[in-house]
Amino acid sequence: MIYKDIKSGVISASDFRINLKELRARLGYDFNITEIEPYIKQIANCATFRYAYASLPLKIEKSSCLIGESIVATSSLSTILDGCENVIIFAVSSGSDVDRTINRGYLKSSAEGFILDAVASAYIESFADFVNEMISKELDTTKRFSPGYSDFPLEFQRVLLAYLDAKNTVGIDLTDKILMVPSKSITAVLGIK
């Protein structure tokens, strides 16, 4: 079921910053920014940062959440959403050109591919944080929580992506093994306090 009232858009990489602390953690070493800057620019130039989000009703019963018309058994999410009557679901993606750029990097060298992958991962996390903050300026929300964390089943991605019509709004498909394509994509739930 596609949910009504989906808000979506595209944001330029110049409108937010990559979190360098996140990038350092992904690379596993403290880098000189001048060495990494060309990779950051390469990902920023090929990325199409798209988002979609919607508000859905929420009911919590014991260790389950009824989000919209879909129930999910998860005590972790139930705890985070305790006291909320509605949630925001969202999806973000950096686009398929980023995956192609990473793959071309790996063809040149494993080091280049690894760096591009780390940069792209840090960028999509930074973009998810940006969208989270954009939503939180309008609404008092809980922290974001994504399928696959703790006991929140990864399979719930299907529900979130279907509600958001993610194939059309942000260009995200899901494989049979529940991997998002493009790979640098994130879904999440935020409680509205």
What pTM value is reported for the model? 0.94
CB 98 within 8 A of CB 182: yes
Give the pLDDT confidence score for residue 62 in this predicted structure: 86
Side-chain half-sphere exposure of 131, counting CA atoms within 13 A: 32
What residues form DSSP beta bridges with 173? 181
Mean pLDDT of 122-140: 96
3 pLDDT higher than 80: no
Element (H or E) spanning 79, and its range?
helix 75-81
Element (H or E) spanning 73, and its range?
strand 70-73
pLDDT in tens, 22-77: 999 999 998 899 999 999 999 999 999 999 999 999 999 989 999 999 999 999 99
Q: Which of 73, 78, 180 is nearest to 128 (CA)?
A: 180
Domains in the chain: boundaries: 7-192
Check: CATH 3.40.109.40 for 7-192?
A: yes
